[in-house]
Structure 1
């Protein structure tokens, strides 16, 4: 039984390598390569979280034409199935990281756990056994189980503190700005509620497509899947799948994505339909020729991150992860998970949202704003069809959103 599994794994790895190489020469440049290609200064710094994950922090210290003067630091954190690449993939004219750097900011891009597979303990424990095929499958499954058994709660309580401390250490600044998109907003609320001492380190939290409450979402896929979260949890544990897409299939997923979403593909409309099906219908803001650029990087995400969102949908509340009543009793001293105490988030919070966002609906954003003690702005994008992904990739994202984002950031940053 093990031999066919090993053969399948090796074939999948070979397939992934082959198509990753093709992508690399076409559209799948990583964050570092994209920034260098566009002529911006760039640093790559590794940081270690309290629980041992090794994460990447990327720095664009200044813009192409702004090299002097004090530059306030701002940290940008990505969403689910995303990476730091999301903030630079649209180029200098539309990428938020570039716009901030050119405006005079010291820009830091974080990669959450899962985007990186490194861990201080696992890297050493399994090194000597890795190439022994008798242990290969066991090692791979152990690595995946350990590295991907987390939700966005851990991003908030471990990853963000490490990133904030890293940025402050390098820049010697007392406070920094924070911009999160989608899950990057969720994690910031977890941070403020569970690690309230970090509120003083943030000059402002800017939330793009804020996700905390999900009582009114209308995206069909999570609406359909969330009632079956318990079954998904059982099945994925039985078949030992801890991430989506599973590591051996990522090459195949890249191959299918390239075939369907390429600008010359006969199936391009299928790719567009899925894009709208998940985030909202926004044809005026989508350049079909950019779909592969947008999805050139598709990191795996933990199953538990998806399950945690499903629990939020099912309960209607913003709660910690539900492990089941037995584990809950041991972990929380009660049979159900506690609510996040949003009243502890004392840092200024600005919420940017849209009516056309099927994942972060206005009524849920309104509910969030009322729970935040220091919500300094709740602003709806003027275009009614502006969808969830438009916060990163819209054709007119700069005039519709980023100009206002920069104005808010300027208000809480010092250039003196």
Structure 2
């Protein structure tokens, strides 16, 4: 989606070098250092999905082990990143500006998810992460397989019956997918908080971006014909970004990198402090598929929240119908709160209003009262907690009374 504004060749070369420089610096400033400085650490676990993907999930705990992880009275919270993201997206800010660190301080049991294909979840029981078959997924599989596996693991290890879910962007999408397609899990979700939820995209705010994104279903077919199915940088290559940028193995990522650098202003608002920009750059390109982009492009083109459209012949074979089935949002039974803003370049208020009308248990739909508040400000702005943290915490406490 960052291809909507493309730099000249000279600017692209400069930005590519600048991106490398910042990325290398951010690699040495990884969020674990920030956690350690505040007496915290991440416990790491692996979870296997029904279709063989091995996911890595993180639990945020005090380094000295003072807090009892198994205290059943602690509200359990799962935070889920968006597309191209990782669990570390939630850990870039200072503690007082971080949603998850503030909730931890208030006594919540914090878990951070990683979906298939990202930096921390590239294992499979059968396939190597370089295999074409490994990358044959969209966010549908994340909702249908990844979330249920993570949720069951978290509830088992936290000795809890339910958890509170906070999803940013695609992180909200996959929760709605799960509740629509696997309603047996709905009772395990005490509440849903959607930050800039991506479901309906027809009124996307940038016209050129809308044109490019809606063309993705056709563009990805061309891209895949050249053997490219993924966007991202593998974890073991993080420390040698120059090699990646010079390697033919990561051509698609290499092509996109300068566009991201050039368009930082598109998705990083004035509320994101400059001292975390390099950290943010170090968290980009965690992994996504051409199929994901194509699927979101179908949302924009069709103005529907539906499963992947393979074309008439394959749709009939897979779904039994010429068109893909729509997700039934009436199945989303967990109490849901949505946050949105007028400054969001991706989620338009008209699309959010349509989503609100479809949800049967909508608790609240909150508009951030700042015109320039953008899509990524929920993660990285210094003012995010001021507008949403209190609301989230009150809902959690109210449920746990």
Asked if these proteins are the same fold (TM beyond 0.5), I'd say yes
Q: Contact between 1:343 and 1:371, CA under 8 Å: does it hold in 2?
A: yes
Work out the CA distance in 2 between the residues paired with 1:236 and 1:120: 27
Q: Indicate the residue corresponding to 1:108 in structure 2.
A: 111
Q: Contact between 2:181 and 2:327, CA under 8 Å: does it hold in 1?
A: yes
Once the two structures are superposed, what CA deviation does each residue of 1:106-148 show, in whole Å capped at 9, x if it has no partner? 000010001121001226xxxxxxxxxxxxxxxx7xx341221
Q: Contact between 1:63 and 1:104, CA under 8 Å: does it hold in 2?
A: no
Q: Indicate the residue corresponding to 1:263 in structure 2.
A: none
Shift in Å, 1:98: 0.8
Shift in Å, 1:237: 1.6
Q: Indicate the residue corresponding to 1:214 in structure 2.
A: 201
Q: Indicate the residue corresponding to 2:277 in structure 1.
A: 291
Shift in Å, 1:413: 3.0
Matched, 1:120 2:125: yes
Q: Indicate the residue corresponding to 2:256 in structure 1.
A: none
Q: Indicate the residue corresponding to 2:60 in structure 1.
A: 60
Q: 1:210-249 to 2 correspondence within 5 Å? A: 210-220=197-207, 222-245=209-232
Q: Contact between 2:164 and 2:396, CA under 8 Å: does it hold in 1?
A: yes
Q: Indicate the residue corresponding to 2:263 in structure 1.
A: 274
Work out the CA distance in 1 between the residues paired with 2:24 and 2:261: 22
Work out the CA distance in 2 between the residues paired with 1:401 and 1:226: 29
Q: Contact between 2:26 and 2:281, CA under 8 Å: does it hold in 1?
A: no
Matched, 1:200 2:226: no
Work out the CA distance in 2 between the residues paired with 1:230 and 1:345: 28
RMSD: 2.9
Q: Contact between 2:26 and 2:278, CA under 8 Å: does it hold in 1?
A: no
Q: Contact between 2:80 and 2:112, CA under 8 Å: does it hold in 1?
A: yes
Work out the CA distance in 1 between the residues paired with 2:150 and 2:225: 34
CA gap of 1:24–1:198, structure 2 versus 1, over 3 A, is: same
> Given the two structures, how large is their TM-score scaled by the length of structure 1?
0.80
> Given the two structures, how large is their TM-score scaled by the length of structure 2?
0.83
Structure number with higher relative contact order (C-alpha < 8 Å, ≥ 6 residues apart): 2
CA gap of 1:227–1:351, structure 2 versus 1, over 3 A, is: closer
Q: Indicate the residue corresponding to 1:152 in structure 2.
A: 139
CA gap of 1:151–1:99, structure 2 versus 1, over 3 A, is: same
Q: Indicate the residue corresponding to 1:95 in structure 2.
A: 98
Q: 1:122 aligns to what SS in structure 2?
A: coil
Q: Contact between 1:61 and 1:105, CA under 8 Å: does it hold in 2?
A: no
Once the two structures are superposed, what CA deviation does each residue of 1:320-358 show, in whole Å capped at 9, x if it has no partner? 000111110011101111110000111111101111111
CA gap of 1:19–1:120, structure 2 versus 1, over 3 A, is: farther
Q: 1:204 aligns to what SS in structure 2?
A: strand
Work out the CA distance in 1 between the residues paired with 2:342 and 2:21: 38
CA gap of 1:245–1:42, structure 2 versus 1, over 3 A, is: closer
Q: Indicate the residue corresponding to 2:176 in structure 1.
A: 189
Structure 2: 5+ residue runs without aligned partners?
1-16, 247-258
Q: Contact between 1:144 and 1:243, CA under 8 Å: does it hold in 2?
A: no
Shift in Å, 1:397: 1.2
Once the two structures are superposed, what CA deviation does each residue of 1:223-254 show, in whole Å capped at 9, x if it has no partner? 13123223312212211101124769983598
Work out the CA distance in 1 between the residues paired with 2:86 and 2:232: 15
Structure 1: 5+ residue runs without aligned partners?
1-14, 124-139, 257-269
Shift in Å, 1:172: 1.2
The number of residue pairs the alignment matches comes to 363
Matched, 1:36 2:36: yes
Pick from 380, 400, 406: which aligns with 2:393?
Answer: 406
Q: Indicate the residue corresponding to 1:171 in structure 2.
A: 158
CA gap of 1:234–1:342, structure 2 versus 1, over 3 A, is: same
Q: 2:67 aligns to what SS in structure 1?
A: coil
Q: 1:230 aligns to what SS in structure 2?
A: helix
Q: Indicate the residue corresponding to 1:10 in structure 2.
A: none
Work out the CA distance in 2 between the residues paired with 1:384 and 1:360: 13
CA gap of 1:253–1:83, structure 2 versus 1, over 3 A, is: farther
Work out the CA distance in 1 between the residues paired with 2:233 and 2:46: 25
Q: Contact between 1:38 and 1:91, CA under 8 Å: does it hold in 2?
A: no
Work out the CA distance in 2 between the residues paired with 1:362 and 1:63: 42
Q: Contact between 2:55 and 2:116, CA under 8 Å: does it hold in 1?
A: yes
Q: Contact between 2:217 and 2:297, CA under 8 Å: does it hold in 1?
A: no
Q: 2:40 aligns to what SS in structure 1?
A: coil
Q: 1:220-369 to 2 correspondence within 5 Å? A: 220=207, 222-245=209-232, 251-252=241-242, 274-277=263-266, 279=267, 282-283=269-270, 285-298=271-284, 299-369=286-356
Q: 2:95 aligns to what SS in structure 1?
A: coil
Once the two structures are superposed, what CA deviation does each residue of 1:378-399 show, in whole Å capped at 9, x if it has no partner? 0111112100000111121111
Deviates more, 1:294-303 or 1:304-313: 294-303
